[in-house]
Amino acid sequence: MRFLNFGSLNIDYVYRVHELALPGQTVSSFSESKFFGGKGAIQSAALASSGCQVFHAGKVGKDGQACIDTLKNLGVDTHLVLTGEYKTGMAIIQVDDRGQNSIIIASGANKQITTPEIDLALKEFDSDTTVLLQNETSEIGYVMRKAKEKGMKICLNPAPMDPSIRQLPLNFVDILILNEREAMGLAGGGTTREIADSLGHMLPQAEIILTLGDKGVLYHSAKQEFYVPAAESKVIDSTGASDAFLGYYMAAISQGKTIEESLKIGCIAGAICVSRPGAVESVPKKDEVEAF
């Protein structure tokens, strides 16, 4: 099983604050750091760290070579990452004393990916490949349609959630991985039970994985539904935890583990990720996950 991730690559500017700034409030940060992130890049890093063959397709600006090199050093095939005229995507991230974050993205080159570029990338792949998508790059509906024509499996992480997600051909999604807030944006509010039911009605063909933070994960499909508890760790910075979870979950499934085992592995990867600052840098290595 190979993975093709049409995913974002960002430069993250991270500001540590005691409390996240509220509307109308100005707060001082007590530390500033620059990391390499992007939901797509973190997911590719997690897949590669767990031993999978992963191709990352995306776009950076001339300022983004370090992003490409970081992924390459982790074993991600980056020959489909293009360099364009727009600046590399960036994120402004506040992280508070509890490790919670709040993120603003400037998409930059991530949203300059064109349909001919997508066609060219897809040419190299067939039905033995799973496509990963988040909502930080352009033309994801087009990728979904073309990938489905080729019989490829599609895993969608609709993050960040916005109204454009409802316009996508969601009937093509095989695996939907999202957190509760994103799920509410897609399916409306309610209890976790009601949200899972609404998502199940919207996407009856899909396996739905609802990440619930420290409450664990809810797995729902037409055949079965169950919870897996979260793995515990000290939370320093929650940035990238859901992406590390996703990458390790998809890797474990592709390596023949059961759904339950794979979810547990994903939760461990997420737990290790939150215990460290940063994004791509905080993705654990396979032996760390095994040792946890």
Residues 267 and 264: their CA atoms lie apart, in Å, by 5
Pick between residue 105 and residue 195 the one whose CB is nearest to ligand RIB: 105
Q: How many CB atoms lie within 10 A of CB 222?
A: 10
3-state secondary structure 56-117: EEEEECHHHHHHHHHHHHCCCEEEEEEECCCCCEEEEEEECCCCCEEEEEECHHHHHCCHHH
Pick between residue 10 and residue 211 the one whose CB is nearest to ligand RIB: 10
The conformation of residue 256, written as its DSSP 8-state character, comes to: T
Residue 279 Cβ vs ligand RIB, minimum distance, rounded to whole Å: 4
Which of these ranges, 8-16, 25-33, 206-214, 216-224, lies near ligand RIB under the rule CB under 6 A?
8-16
CA 203 to mean position of chain CA atoms = 19
Which of these ranges, 165-173, 192-200, 218-226, 235-243, lies near ligand RIB under the rule CB under 6 A?
235-243
Chain position whose Cβ is nearest to ligand RIB: 37
Site string for ligand RIB, 32-71 (x = CB under 6 A): -----xxx--x-----------------------------
Q: What residues contact 256, with CB distance under 8 A and at least 6 apart? A: none
The conformation of residue 164, written as its DSSP 8-state character, comes to: G
Q: What residues contact 116, with CB distance under 8 A and at least 6 apart? A: none
Q: Contacting ligand RIB (CB under 6 A), which of 58, 64, 158, 240?
A: 240
Which of these ranges, 223-231, 237-245, 252-260, 263-271, lies near ligand RIB under the rule CB under 6 A?
237-245
Q: Contacting ligand RIB (CB under 6 A), which of 3, 5, 7, 12?
A: 12
Pick between residue 38 and residue 270 the one whose CB is nearest to ligand RIB: 38
**Helix, strand, coil fractions of the chain, as percent rounded to 5:** 40, 25, 35
Residue 44 Cβ vs ligand RIB, minimum distance, rounded to whole Å: 12
Instruction: Name the CA dihedral angle for 283, 284, 285, 288, rounded to a multiple of 10 degrees.
Output: 180
Q: Contacting ligand RIB (CB under 6 A), which of 131, 218, 259, 279?
A: 279
Pick between residue 10 and residue 129 the one whose CB is nearest to ligand RIB: 10
Number of residues that bind ligand RIB (CB under 6 A): 15
Site string for ligand RIB, 166-205 (x = CB under 6 A): ----------------------------------------
Q: Are strands 31-37 and 10-16 parallel, antiparallel or unpaired?
A: antiparallel
CB distance 43 to 243 below 8 Å: yes
Q: Contacting ligand RIB (CB under 6 A), which of 5, 6, 8, 158?
A: 8
Residues of this chain that interact with ligand RIB (CB under 6 A) are 8, 10, 12, 37-39, 42, 91, 103, 105, 136, 239-240, 243, 279
